[in-house]
């Protein structure tokens, strides 16, 4: 059963939707402002230190939980339908994941559509990962994480690294990911009235300006259509009320069939990216703590495999 806090947040989202533009027309400037405004409502679970960085030309920020000294790094790729979101909007979410994972997070400002369509965001994600390696981060101590569109980018990054024989990270974490940009999942229909965060009309326009004519079934655009064998362990969290539900579950099933170690968590009655509200939602805190446990286990397992190989 949902917490009373989750029910209260749902009432807020219902009221917010009633005052939204009913036309369904995508206004990128307004979307960007809305993402920043919504994110400002949520505060981190733990004090964090923030240090600007530039990762192979990509604006970035190190987010380190206070009192933590670690070599473990999380490359965090923010969501926002590929046209919104920033370091500012996702500092809290990345910080919470870092805190739970006993890690520091590198949060990047990848290029956004429509100014920079596909594959610019993928290229920036690759550049940032390569920068972490150049800084001396061991692949087995790196985890790639992303929410929504960032989850898509995290999976695309893994596919690129594998295909180009680059060192793979210890694992990846995908929060409410969007691995299929064709809108073919069944939950786009059966969760249309339950999902209070996403508007399918706007999402279709967002993907159109992101792809700008590129094939939506290309593996780096929609990882669901790629070859998935050889990817590192994955944690996928999705809410049962999300329109992205079937996209996430279908990707998980395909990855498992390809031999990937996949942990799929479907959280009952949760909205898209409920993890953002960890400070106020018990379900959000629980989800973030699950992420932390997964990251620690994945990095420990990666270190053990490295010791075994060296022996």
C-alpha angle 107/36/207, rounded to 5°? 80
Which one from 61, 242, 265, 283 is the annotated catalytic residue? Answer: 242
Does residue 240 have an active-site annotation?
no
**Eight-class DSSP state of 146:** E
Catalytic residue among 272, 273, 283, 302: 272
148, 187, 222, 302: the catalytic one is 148
Rounded to whole angstroms, the Cα distance separating 127 from 82 reads 17
Non-local (6+) Cβ contacts of 22 within 8 A are none
- Nearest-10 Cα torsion for 211, 213, 216, 218: -100
Instruction: Give the closest residue to 30 by CA, choosing from 274, 234, 221, 205.
Output: 205
Q: Hey, what are 308's tokens? A: 């075994």
Secondary structure letter of residue 231 according to DSSP: P
CA gyration radius, the chain: 18
Which string of DSSP letters, residue by residue, matches 43-78?
Answer: --SS-EEEEEEEETTEEEEEEEETT---S-EEEEE-
Query: Which stretches of 19-164 are DSSP H helices?
Result: 28-39, 87-101, 120-134, 149-163
Read off φ and ψ for residue 287, nearest 5 degrees: -65, -45
Residue with tokens 């997964």: 294
For the question of residue 242 being annotated catalytic, the response is: yes
For the question of residue 164 being annotated catalytic, the response is no
265 bridge partner residues: 237
SS3 239: strand
Mind telling me the catalytic residues? Answer: 148, 242, 272
């Amino acid at each position: 059963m949902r917490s009373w806090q989750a029910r209260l947040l749902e009432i807020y989202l219902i009221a917010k939707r009633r005052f939204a533009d009913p036309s369904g027309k995508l206004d990128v400037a307004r979307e960007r402002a809305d993402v920043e405004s919504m994110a400002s409502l949520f505060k981190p679970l733990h004090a964090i230190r923030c240090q600007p960085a530039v990762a192979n030309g990509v604006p970035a920020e190190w987010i380190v939980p206070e009192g933590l000294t670690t070599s473990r790094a999380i490359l965090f790729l923010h969501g926002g339908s590929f046209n919104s979101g920033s370091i500012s909007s996702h500092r809290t979410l990345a910080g919470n994941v870092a805190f739970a994972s006993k890690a520091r997070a590198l949060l990047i400002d990848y290029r956004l559509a429509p100014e920079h369509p596909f594959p610019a965001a993928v290229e920036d994600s690759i550049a940032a990962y390569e920068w972490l390696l150049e800084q001396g981060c061991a692949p087995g101590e790196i985890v790639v994480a992303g929410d929504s569109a960032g989850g898509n980018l995290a999976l695309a990054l893994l596919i690129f690294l594998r295909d180009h024989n680059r060192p793979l990270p210890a694992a990846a974490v995908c929060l409410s990911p969007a691995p299929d940009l064709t809108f073919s999942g069944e939950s786009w229909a059966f969760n249309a009235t339950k999902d209070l965060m996403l508007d399918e009309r706007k999402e279709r326009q967002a993907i159109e300006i992101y792809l700008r004519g590129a094939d939506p079934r290309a593996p780096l655009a929609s990882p669901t259509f790629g070859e998935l064998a050889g990817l590192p362990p994955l944690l996928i969290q999705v809410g049962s009320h999300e329109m992205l539900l079937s996209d996430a579950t279908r990707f998980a099933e395909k990855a498992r069939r390809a031999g990937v170690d996949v942990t799929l968590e479907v959280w009952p009655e949760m909205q898209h990216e409920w993890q953002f509200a960890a400070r106020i939602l018990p379900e959000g805190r629980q989800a973030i703590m699950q992420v932390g446990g997964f990251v620690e286990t994945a990095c420990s397992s990666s270190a053990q495999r490295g010791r075994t190989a060296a022996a």
